[in-house]
């Protein structure tokens, strides 16, 4: 993980540096094999996990503060500590289900879509049409796609597991190349050979 104070020191207008209060959202930068993630959490759980360009940190944190109506500060948080551990295990191919609590912010419809996303099994994909059917809104495919795109908690709310009806990769704000890599990671880790290797190592 990058040293968050060093990273944000270059944009002093973006974040205050006092100790977080109970109402604050705490953010950290987390390095992964696919790039830098900006993670945020409050006492209720993780509320942000997105790939971010370090040059845009000021704008990202400003948007987060406005969206949640809370101050955003850098620092440590128990949910972020747990998240960092789980992310390391996920990218190592040894974790298939995140357990860190989530703090979702969205409309009731968006939350229904996000809840269904969390039920897509690791290593599997579904089409937007199927996702719409699963929430009993078969004619709301476009609305479902917009809700999928509005997800701000990557990986934990696995919007990368939704693909086009023809199997084509579509619509991933983190970049289609990352979506491809994530699906390949899960497919490989979910293969019988990988499962047998994990059993032998255990």
Catalytic residue annotation: 159
Q: Mutual orientation of helices 108-117 and 141-149 as an angle, nearest 10°? A: 80
Q: Residue 141 in 3-state DSSP?
A: helix
For the CA atoms of 67, 108, 182, 163, the dihedral, rounded to the nearest 10 degrees, stands at -120
The answer to whether the CB of 131 falls within 8 A of the CB of 163 is: no
What proportions of the chain, in percent to the nearest 5, are helix, strand and coil? 45, 15, 40
b/e string for 166-175 if b means 16 or more Cβ within 10 A? eeeeebbbbe
Task: Phi first, then psi: give them for residue 73, nearest 5 degrees.
Answer: -130, 155
Longest Cα pair distance anywhere in the chain, in angstroms?
51
């Amino acid at each position: 993980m990058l040293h968050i104070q060093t990273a944000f020191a270059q944009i002093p207008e973006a974040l205050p540096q006092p100790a977080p209060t109970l109402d604050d959202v705490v953010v950290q930068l987390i390095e992964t094999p696919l790039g830098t993630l900006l993670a945020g959490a409050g006492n209720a759980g993780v509320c942000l996990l997105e790939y971010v360009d370090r040059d845009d940190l000021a704008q990202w944190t400003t948007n987060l503060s406005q969206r949640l109506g809370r101050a955003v500060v850098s620092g440590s948080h128990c949910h972020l500590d747990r998240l960092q551990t789980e992310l390391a295990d996920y990218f190592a191919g040894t974790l298939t289900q995140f357990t860190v609590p989530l703090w979702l912010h969205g409309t009731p419809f968006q939350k229904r879509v996000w809840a269904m996303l969390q039920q897509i099994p690791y290593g599997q994909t579904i089409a937007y049409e199927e996702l719409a059917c699963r929430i009993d809104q078969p004619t709301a495919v476009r609305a479902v796609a917009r809700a999928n795109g509005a997800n701000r908690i990557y990986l934990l709310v696995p919007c990368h597991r939704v693909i086009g009806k023809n199997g084509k990769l579509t619509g991933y704000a983190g970049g289609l190349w990352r979506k491809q890599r994530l699906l390949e990671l899960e497919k490989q880790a979910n293969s019988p050979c990988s499962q047998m290797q994990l059993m032998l190592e255990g």
